[in-house]
Amino acid sequence: MMQSLISLYKLSYPRSLVYMLQSSEYVVKPYLIWVWRTNDFSKVMNRRTLVYTRAARLLLLALRLGILLQILIGVLFIYLGAKNSLAGGVVFGIALIISYPFVWAYLLILPLILGRYFINGPKSLREIEESKQIFANHPGIKIAVAGSYGKTTMKELLTSVLSEKLVVASTPANKNVSLSHAKFATKLKGNEDVLVIEYGEGEPGDVARFASITAPTHGVITGLAPAHLDKYHSMQEAGEDIFSLADYLKNKNVFVNTDSQSVNPFIKEDFELFNHKEALGWKISGIKVDINGTSFEMKKDSQILKLRSAVVGRHQVGYLAFASAFALRLGLSKEQVVAAISKTKPFEHRLQPYKLADAWVIDDTYNGNLEGIRAGTQLLKDLSAKRKIYITPGLVDQGVENENVHIEIGKLIADASPDSVVLMKNSVTKYIREGLKIGKYSGKLSIEADPLTFYTNLNHFVASGDLVVMQNDWPDNYI
């Protein structure tokens, strides 16, 4: 209690507030929730520290000056009150000084709200409106990629493979909301054969809105899993939003990954399906997974494609096969497809293998959903190693499914049977432990209270022959 109170008056308090705002991506609601939840403001920078951007420096300066001004006014009131024997003045002065941490935690967001409503908001709306025209008039094939997970992977694979012959442009990194789409549109040259546009759904209505702006001709739905359930409330609601892409396309040119069983209730007759057994009429066999990549064969009538990619994991086969089959449909030769697939590489922080202190680490820290956890734990099972280590903090934004999802994660980990499990201590740890218990996990379990120290010193924990799978990473605004 005392420690918490002291933290409000430490010199580091303004920096903590600006850090919290920056980590919340300058969005008011998560920042406020974080402020309300925080007891000790001296311990908010666990994963990262404040990045001194121009905006952060300006906010910090304004905050410090504001606090200083409030304290000076408080002192002035105390002085004048004492000089003129006015108890009220003294009390008000003291109140001013004591209250500054509370006052400025809220005043800090004022410039954001004003800026958003009066400057950024109208500007963004204008950009989005202009992009509508650009997308509508673009002559290329426009492929929208939607789903609860695997969107970035699918987008990157399609881009890599189709680029072997065609001119392809795709939305950068995981920039996948309307404003990002609008910025992407302004950079198009108009000569692209294919546009690949990722849809990052966050709340009901998002996907339909993205579709109305980007006017896709094709849609790929990568899967459905519990994600953003704080906004969607149920998988049904999330599924309806994601499959509104199919509604826009009138169920034509819609491709759905049926490795994700949750999509089944939404499947319609006109959809074309793909999974790790079949993709657009091609049969898949001979799947082999090792730390250096994944290989498999695709057969259709008398045609055979032997494919090898550096992306790792059985769950990637459906995506790779779809990208290959779709590329063939768009006119790429078999040789071009084989060559293109051989050039595909793991994407950063998405089941990306790398060597550390002679151990193999599979970095899947950008994964944030149950299906990804399923894929990661399956990979841990598939690969051989002298010692297997699994590391996760769990998932965020699981809404009402939070407990069930994390019990399921515990069971999946237990089923993969690693020698050692490391959980980052937070609000879901107890559920994962419960799942481990149900799954009768008998290996070593460690709970890490200081994730940053653990991750930055991982090289000291591992040795040759170890296989480490790290899934998901929680920012500081989740506990």
Partner 1 sequence: METIIVIFGGRSAEHDVSIVTAISSIIKPLELTKKYRVEAVYVAKSGAWYWDEKLKDINLFSSGNIADFLHKASPASIQFDGGMKLVKASGIAGRKQIRKIDIAFPAMHGTYGEDGSLMGLLDMAGIPYIGCSVSAASIAMDKVICKQLASSNDIPVTPFVHFSKSDIERDPLKVIGKITGALKFPLFVKPAHLGSSIGISKVVNEKELKNALEVATHYDDKVIIEEEVPNLIELTLPIMGNDSPIPALLERPLTSPEDFFDFDTKYLQGGKKGKGSGGKSSSKGAQGYSQIPAELPSELYSRAENLGLKVYKTMGCSGISRVDMLVNQKTGQIYFNEINPLPGGLYAHNWNKSGVSNIELVEKLVLFAKERHSTRQALNTSFSTNYLQQF
384-423 residues near partner 1, rule: CB under 8 A: 386-387
Distance CA 24, CA 452 (A): 18
C-beta of residue 459 within 8 angstroms of C-beta of residue 27: no
Please report whether residue 39 would count as binding partner 1 according to CB under 8 A: no
Closer residue to partner 1, CB minimum distance, 130 or 358: 358
Please report whether residue 329 would count as binding partner 1 according to CB under 8 A: no
As measured in angstroms, the least distance from the Cβ of 449 to partner 1 is: 9
As measured in angstroms, the least distance from the Cβ of 383 to partner 1 is: 16
108-137 residues near partner 1, rule: CB under 8 A: none
Q: How many CB atoms lie within 10 A of CB 37?
A: 10
Closer residue to partner 1, CB minimum distance, 4 or 459: 459
Specify the amino acid at residue 216. P
Region binding partner 1 by CB under 8 A among candidate stretches 253-261, 264-272, 304-312, 454-462: 454-462
As measured in angstroms, the least distance from the Cβ of 7 to partner 1 is: 22
The answer to whether the Cα torsion of 450, 444, 227, 287 is positive or negative is positive
User: Site for partner 1 (CB under 8 A): which residue of 51, 133, 463, 475?
Assistant: 463
Q: How many CB atoms lie within 10 A of CB 463?
A: 13
Q: What is the DSSP letter of 184?
A: H
In 3D, which of 471, 472, 473, 462 has the Cα closest to residue 355? 462
As measured in angstroms, the least distance from the Cβ of 52 to partner 1 is: 21
Total chain residues near partner 1 (CB under 8 A): 14
Please report whether residue 162 would count as binding partner 1 according to CB under 8 A: no
C-beta of residue 199 within 8 angstroms of C-beta of residue 216: no
Please report whether residue 459 would count as binding partner 1 according to CB under 8 A: yes
Q: How many CB atoms lie within 10 A of CB 273?
A: 17
Closer residue to partner 1, CB minimum distance, 46 or 253: 46
Closer residue to partner 1, CB minimum distance, 99 or 456: 456
Which residues fall within 8 angstroms of residue 193, CB to CB, at 6 or more apart?
A: 140, 141, 162, 166, 167, 168
Closer residue to partner 1, CB minimum distance, 212 or 292: 292
Per the rule left: phi > 0, alpha: psi between -120 and 50, beta: everything else, 201 is beta
Distance CA 149, CA 363 (A): 16
Closer residue to partner 1, CB minimum distance, 268 or 386: 386
Distance CA 293, CA 26 (A): 39
C-beta of residue 27 within 8 angstroms of C-beta of residue 475: no
Helix (H) / strand (E) containing 72: helix 54-83
User: Site for partner 1 (CB under 8 A): which residue of 283, 358, 384, 438?
Assistant: 358
Closer residue to partner 1, CB minimum distance, 350 or 388: 388
User: Site for partner 1 (CB under 8 A): which residue of 192, 272, 466, 476?
Assistant: 466
As measured in angstroms, the least distance from the Cβ of 452 to partner 1 is: 13
Region binding partner 1 by CB under 8 A among candidate stretches 200-208, 267-275, 310-318, 451-459: 451-459
Please report whether residue 292 would count as binding partner 1 according to CB under 8 A: no
As measured in angstroms, the least distance from the Cβ of 451 to partner 1 is: 13
As measured in angstroms, the least distance from the Cβ of 461 to partner 1 is: 6
Per the rule left: phi > 0, alpha: psi between -120 and 50, beta: everything else, 220 is beta
User: Site for partner 1 (CB under 8 A): which residue of 462, 467, 469, 470?
Assistant: 462
Distance CA 17, CA 27 (A): 13
Region binding partner 1 by CB under 8 A among candidate stretches 96-104, 296-304, 372-380, 461-469: 461-469
User: Site for partner 1 (CB under 8 A): which residue of 253, 461, 478, 479?
Assistant: 461
Region binding partner 1 by CB under 8 A among candidate stretches 10-18, 299-307, 366-374, 453-461: 453-461
218-237 residues near partner 1, rule: CB under 8 A: none
Q: What is the DSSP letter of 446?
A: E
Distance of CA 211 to the CA centre of its chain: 21
No. of H helices and E strands in the chain?
20, 16
C-beta of residue 120 within 8 angstroms of C-beta of residue 195: no
Chain residues binding partner 1 by CB under 8 A are 357-358, 386-387, 453, 457, 459-466
